Amino acid sequence: MNDQDMETKKSDERVNHMRAPSMRSHTSGDADLHTTDPLQQKPSRNAIREISLELDSPGDTESVSGESELRNREDVSLDQETDVRLSQMGNHKGKKRDAEKKSRVLSSFLLVLAFACLALGIYLLVKPAIVHKNQDKIADNLLEQLNQLAPSSTEEVSIEVNVDDINLPGSYSDEYDYILPPGVTIGETVDVKPTVNTPKPGTIITIRSDSIMRISKINLEIAVAPDINASSLWVLPGHYPSSVQPGEVGINAYFGHRMYGKGRHFNRLDEVTPGDTIKIQRKGMLYTYVVDSSDIIEPSELGRFIYERTDEPRIVLVTCHPKQMTGVPKYRIVVRGHLESAQPIG
C-alpha cells in the first residue's frame, strides 16, 4: 500500500468516526421521541400548514357546508315534527276534555231523568192510596151526617170536593154507560142517557146522599148517592135513576165500584149469597131485601136485569168482575133479591 492509499484510508476512517456519533445521536433521539407523551408534543409548522390547507380546500368546505345544511334541515324537520306532535297532543287533550264534558252532561241528564222516573214511580204508587183515602174520608163524612139526622128526617146531605182529590179515571167506557132494554141495540133511539159525565180536572163538585146501605154479610155500611154519575161513583155506590125507589114495585137498582181495598164499596159483593140480607135506610124508612141469586154476566146483558118486568118490589146490585188494578173489567156481578119488609124508623 503506497502513501496515497494510506492517506485515503485514514480520511475514510475519520469520516466514519464522525458519522457514528451522529447516527447514535439520531437513534437516541428516536428513542426519546418514542418514549415522550404524544399529548405533550407540539405540532410542527408543517403539520399546522397541512391542516390549514386541508380546511381551506374547496371540496372540504362544500362538504362541511352540506353537512351543516343537512343538520339544519334535520333540526327544522325535528321542530316541525315536534310541533305536529304537540298539536296532536293538544287536540287529543281538547277532545278528551270535550268527551269528559259531554260525559258529565250526559251523566247529569241521566241522573235527573232517573230521579224524575223515581219521583213519577213513587207518585203513581202513592197517588191511588191518597185518592182512596180521600174517597173513604168523604164517604165516612157523608155517612156520619146521615146518622146524625133524626130517624124520621127526609133531608139529604152533601159535601163539596175538588174532583182531583177523588178521581181515579178508567172505570167506565161509553159502551158500558148505556143500559139498554131487552131487544134494543146501541144506535137506536132510546130513552136512555149516558150515566157518566166526567168533570174536568180542578172542578169543584157536590156529592150528595140520601140513603144508607147495610150488608152484614160483608160488613158493609156506606152512604148511597141518589145517582150514578162519575164523580159520585168515585166515592159512593149510587142509585140508578131510571129504576124505582126502595119499597116500590119494580127493580130498585144500585151500582158501585169494586175498589182496591177489601171491603170498600162493592168490593166483596161476590161473597154475598142467597139468603143474605140487604138493608136500605132512606128518608125515615128501613127496607129489608133478601138475596135470591148472584150471577156473573156480560155488560151487554145488564138491560135484561135492570128492565126486568115484575109485580113485586125487587133489588139489583151491580159491580165489575173480576177485580183488577187498571182498565175496565170484562164482566159484571149481579145480585138480585126481593123485598121482605119496609118499616118506619123510630
One DSSP character per residue, 264-327 reads: SBTTTGGG--TT-EEEEEETTEEEEEEEEEEEEE-GGGHHHHHT---SSEEEEEEEEES--SSS
Write out the three cell numbers for 169.
179515571
CA distances from residue 85 to 71, 91, 127 in whole angstroms, order as listed: 21, 10, 61
The domains of the chain, with CATH numbers, are 128-344 (2.40.260.10)
Q: Which amino acid is at 120?
A: L
Please give the pLDDT value at position 166. 85
Q: What are the backbone angles phi and psi of residue 304, rounded to the nearest 5°?
A: -65, -30
Please give the pLDDT value at position 207. 93
**pLDDT tens per residue across span 291-323:** 999 999 998 889 899 999 999 999 999 998 887
Q: What are the backbone angles phi and psi of residue 249, rounded to the nearest 5°?
A: -70, 130
DSSP string covering 9-74? HHHHHHHHHHHHHHHHHHHHHHHHHHHS-GGGPPPPHHHHHHHHHHHHSHHHHHHHHHHHHHHHHH
* pLDDT beneath 70, residues of the chain: 1-77, 79, 83, 90, 92, 168-178, 185-198, 260-263, 325-327
Please give the pLDDT value at position 292. 97
Write out the three cell numbers for 199.
168533570
What are the residues whose beta carbons fall under 8 Å from the beta carbon of 176, sequence distance 6 or more? 299, 328
Please give the pLDDT value at position 105. 87
What are the residues whose beta carbons fall under 8 Å from the beta carbon of 147, sequence distance 6 or more? 212
Please give the pLDDT value at position 43. 52
At 7 the three-state DSSP class reads helix
CA distance 126 to 139: 20
Please give the pLDDT value at position 66. 62
Interaxial angle between packed helices 45-56 and 58-148, expressed in degrees from 0 to 180 and rounded to the nearest 10: 60
Q: Which long-range contacts (CB under 8 A, 24 or more apart) does 135-140 make?
A: 135/166, 135/234, 135/235, 135/259, 135/264, 136/264, 138/166, 138/207, 138/235, 139/222, 139/223, 139/235, 139/236
Please give the pLDDT value at position 177. 52
Give every strand in the sheet of 220-224, ordered side by side: 220-224, 211-215, 277-282, 285-297, 331-344, 313-321, 250-255, 238-239
Answer whether 0.75 is exceeded by the pTM.
no
**pLDDT tens per residue across span 113-145:** 999 998 888 877 787 788 888 888 999 999 999
CA distance 141 to 196: 24
